[in-house]
Chains A and B, each alone.
Chain A
Amino acid sequence: MSGVSRRELFRLGAAGSGALVLGMVLPGCATAPDEREPTRVGAWAPNAWLEIDPDGGVAFTLDRVEMGQGTVTGITTLVAEELDVAPENIEVVFAPVGDAYINPQYGLQVTGGSSSVRTSWERVREAGARVRAVLLASAAEVWQEPVASLTTEDGHVLHPAGTQRMAYKDLLALAARQSMPEEVTLRRPEDFRYIGKHNRRLDALAKVTGQARFGIDVELEGMRYAVVARPPAIGARLVAFDDARARELPGVIDVLAIERGVAVVAESYWQAMKARGELSIEWDESDAVKVTQESVFRQYRQAADDSAGDTERSDGDAAGVLENADGVLEAEYEAPFLAHATMEPQNATAMVTDRGLEVWAPTQGPDLARIAAARTSGYSPGEIRVHTTFLGGGFGRRLTQEYVEEVAEIASQRQEPVKLVWSREDDIRHDVFRPAMLHRFRGALADGRVTAWDHQITGPLIFDWFARNAAAAQYPWAPRMFYNTLASVGRMTEDTFLTPKDHSAIEGAVDVPYAVPDLRVRHTHADAGVPVSYWRSVGHSHNGFAVETFMDELAHRAGEDPVAFRLRHLEDSPRHRAVLERAAEAAGWGGSLPEARARGVALHRSFGTFVAQVVEASIEDGAIRVHRVTCAADCGRMVNPDIVRMQMEGGILFGLTAALYGEVDWDDSGRLKQSNFHDYTLMRHDETPELSIILVENGEDPQGVGEPGTPPAIPALGNALFALTGERQRRTPFRAGSADA
């Protein structure tokens, strides 16, 4: 039996959702860090992240949201290490919107791009170290001992004689009068007490006892529930609606037109849903987007034929070499639109107070949520407080904030607290999708080496869609009437000094690691009008599939072993080589297999992390069966090795789900065919392969782990199916027996 007592359980459970305790009980009391005051009476708040109260409680404001990837544990471990307080003794508070919390990689307060540990590695440790330095200086004053002679241990300063110790909480008054040191020395890796060692997730107890509070769990006094009827096809517009029948139903409070559709407000979600079903709505579909996956790829092919696109990388003269080469290998790959399908459907809660608007949202971008709320509520960003919660999955979905736009509009019109919940059908049908992408390759070989490589990628840029709220979020003082102008300017200035380049279409392709003397990568812009967004591993999700499948095709054409062939092109890439060799060795590459099984391999670096995978698969009764995945990953130094392992496991299964099932499509009238888990299929427990994860240990700087497990899983499976059947899998989801020959 567990040694955790029930009392301890609820104490820890409460700590795990501390932000919500603060935010939900005391709306309006979250303090902007720019005017930072302690959130507790008598506490010392030395910087934007830390607060120590007179009872010894240490609160850490976590500025990267927790969506399963492990920020609560990982980043708290960073501050714990330098402050020298055990991670489990630190209460984690989810950050409000504030300049100090902006993600330096993006200039926005977003969690994404597997950037949380990478961008916190210095910043958060330094924040902890500065506070510890001040506490040490304060103790030195009390004891009249040289600072250098003092040490710390789990929330205490130790006297050099070893006879006395002073708790941090007893030094607060003195510490508050000290000035923060400019320079601090960070702990040496060999002295780490928590980094690389602390394995149990800090949020695990709250999550196994049902105590963790997600967005959908927010509860406010007098709260109403809202659902929205949205356009049946992308771009359809509301003309008129008849709500007479809906309003007669019990529990229905109001039906109102909002920018994104017709909202039903009721006493409960169930009553709101029933009433929504009784609405009779007329939509104008004259400008609706009516596409199918097939029509989109037809459009992309035409665009690729018509335009060579922008050259994104060019080494040597790929076009010239290919023109004169014999036996040029050509291949075309398709990656379809994909839904995110986070387990927690989209939702948000909002309430008007005498100070403005309070918003609770499971969001990957609180500052984006604030702009989204400002768009539709009439409040300015300065009057809006955003409280984030635990996120029931993110995968990029919650970087887009339509649910906040909706709830802010409804709550400000109703002037009462409203929780908006999307049904699963809403969530799938109105997702912002992973873009469909078309890949065309030409490659030439000589003496077992690739001599020329030309890769043309056709599809949209995600920033064209993301700019909507992202541009304005960087100028929160701008009046609402300029939001769309800012978005347009952002889009038009992409890849100039004003707006960073959008790598979403080309990442994982321009950085192909293989040594090829004549290499060109191009992007042809084509947008089908379907809203798109970031999806776990973004461009790597389709470029990894395309590049690693084409490399496999080249190996086959050369008559070479796929692992040996790749290694031959990686002479100057030792970390790529190392993970490939380790995965191949652990998988028994080249060794015997049970009958009717085959192996495939893929290697891909994304978000700084090197990952190689070997997949073992078969086809049983016409269905693809994945038996085993061996994965070697090098993400540099690991803050929490077991979370790295978890992220590789989850990333692999996410990739395999796309490879086996992932696809959405529309019918001829622009209605999405998929709506729920019966037709948007996710991998289930009984299909899960055996996973074997090898973590390469080294002292390099930490890199991303949330996404890099996903890209190689897709081509590794496709390449295994080729080895099994001789049929190449050139589009996802893969088909047993019906792929292109």
Chain B
Amino acid sequence: MTITIRVNGAEQSVDAPEDTPLLWVLRDWMGLKGTKFGCGIGQCGACTVHIDGSAQRSCITPVARVAGGEVSVTTIEGLASEDSLHPVQAAWLEHNVPQCGYCQSGQIMSAAALLDQETNPDDERISEFMAANLCRCGTYPRIHAAIRSVADGGAS
């Protein structure tokens, strides 16, 4: 069926079964490959996007839940502004975070949502919030330092 969704500020229509997880609509219907498939059960966070500003796992979010254009979806492709990186992305570069890079879209979307909601989360809060995102390469210490630097105003 035809579903209208608002992604990265633009309304789009896709012809997809309504129980399809948002993840696959973004990736395979809309070509937004930056959002990654990791587990399919909301355990790894690789598929994290913003739904009305909050970090959500798109692999367990049926596309029908964001249909109609009232709800706003943001993916990694929509995070940077017109002429500059998002502060979290800039901090990621500053701290040379990515290794294989596969989980990083999800990590960055989680971190950006956290920092949007809480201006100065402490270390424990960062750790607790970011525990939803797995990284097999072991970039957690750098992710932590990067988020810390933005929270402390270092990269903005």
Contacts and interface: CB of A to CB of B under 8 A. Distances in A.
Interface stretch (A3-11, A607-615, A694-702, A728-736): A3-11
A651 interface: yes
B118 to A, nearest CB: 16
Contacts of A269: 24, 28
Contact of B98 (A207, A214, A341, A421): A207
Contacts of B34: 209-211
Contacts of B83: 5-7
B138 A653 contact: yes
Interface in A327-344: 341-344
Nearest to B146: A208
B33 interface: yes
B77 interface: yes
A424 B38 contact: yes
A204 B93 contact: yes
B33 A684 contact: no
A646 B44 contact: no
Contacts of A204: 92-93, 96-98
Query: At the interface, is chain A mostly helix, strand, loop or mixed?
Result: loop
A4 B134 contact: no
A217 interface: yes
B9 interface: no
A185 interface: no
Contacts of A688: 127, 140-141, 144
A200 B83 CA distance: 21
B34 to A, nearest CB: 2
A650 B21 CA distance: 31
Nearest to A223: B28
B93 A205 contact: yes
Contacts of B69: none
Given A217-B33, A682-B136, A686-B131, A68 B101 contact: yes
B148 interface: no
B71 interface: no
B20 A343 contact: no
Given A208-B98, A210-B105, A685-B127, A649 B141 contact: yes
A205 B76 CA distance: 12
Instruction: Sort chain B's interface into a size bin.
Output: 35 or more
A208 B93 CA distance: 8
Among the interface residues A203, A212, A271, A686, which one has the most CB atoms of the partner chain B within 10 A?
A686
B63 to A, nearest CB: 10
Nearest to A643: B96
A430 B56 CA distance: 29
Contacts of B20: 268, 270
A654 interface: yes
Contacts of B75: 210
Interface in A391-446: 391-395, 421, 423-425
A649 B24 CA distance: 33
Contacts of B31: 219
B56 to A, nearest CB: 16
Contacts of B134: 343, 677, 682, 684
Nearest to A656: B138
Contacts of B41: 424, 676-678
Contact of A343 (B38, B131, B156): B38
B58 interface: no
A9 B99 contact: no
A220 interface: no
Contacts of B103: 343, 392
A213 B104 contact: no
A5 B126 CA distance: 28
A711 B102 CA distance: 24
B94 to A, nearest CB: 8
Contacts of B16: 268
Nearest to B101: A207
Contact of B76 (A210, A391, A425): A210
B92 A270 contact: no
Nearest to A1: B84
Contact of A1 (B32, B79, B87, B130): B87
Contact of A392 (B80, B97, B102, B130): B102
Contacts of B37: 216, 345, 421
A209 B89 contact: yes
A390 B96 contact: no
Contacts of B93: 2, 4, 200, 204-205, 208
A649 B142 contact: yes
Contacts of B128: 686
B68 interface: no
B143 interface: yes
Contacts of A424: 38-41, 44
A68 B99 contact: yes
Contact of A642 (B36, B77, B79, B96): B96
A2 B86 CA distance: 8
Interface in B63-82: 75-77, 79-82
A726 B131 CA distance: 31
B108 interface: yes
A326 B82 CA distance: 76
Contacts of B130: 685-686
Of B29, B41, B93, B101, chain A has the most CB atoms within 10 Å of the CB of B101
A534 interface: no
Interface string A328-365: 00000000000001111100000000000000000000
A344 B133 CA distance: 14
B50 to A, nearest CB: 13
B100 interface: yes
A652 interface: yes
Contact of A650 (B29, B102, B131, B138): B138
A216 B37 CA distance: 9
A525 B156 CA distance: 59
Contacts of B38: 343-345, 424, 677
B139 interface: yes
Contact of A68 (B36, B137, B142): B137
A421 B136 CA distance: 19
A124 to B, nearest CB: 21
Given A9-B85, A209-B79, A677-B39, 9 more contacts: A2-B93, A4-B84, A4-B93, A5-B84, A204-B93, A268-B29, A683-B140, A684-B134, A685-B143
Closest 7 CB pairs of A and B: A210-B34, A392-B102, A68-B100, A207-B101, A653-B138, A2-B90, A68-B99
24 contacts: A2-B87, A5-B83, A205-B93, A208-B104, A209-B79, A209-B89, A210-B32, A210-B34, A210-B76, A219-B31, A268-B16, A268-B29, A271-B17, A342-B102, A342-B136, A343-B38, A344-B36, A345-B37, A425-B40, A646-B99, A649-B142, A654-B138, A677-B43, A685-B131
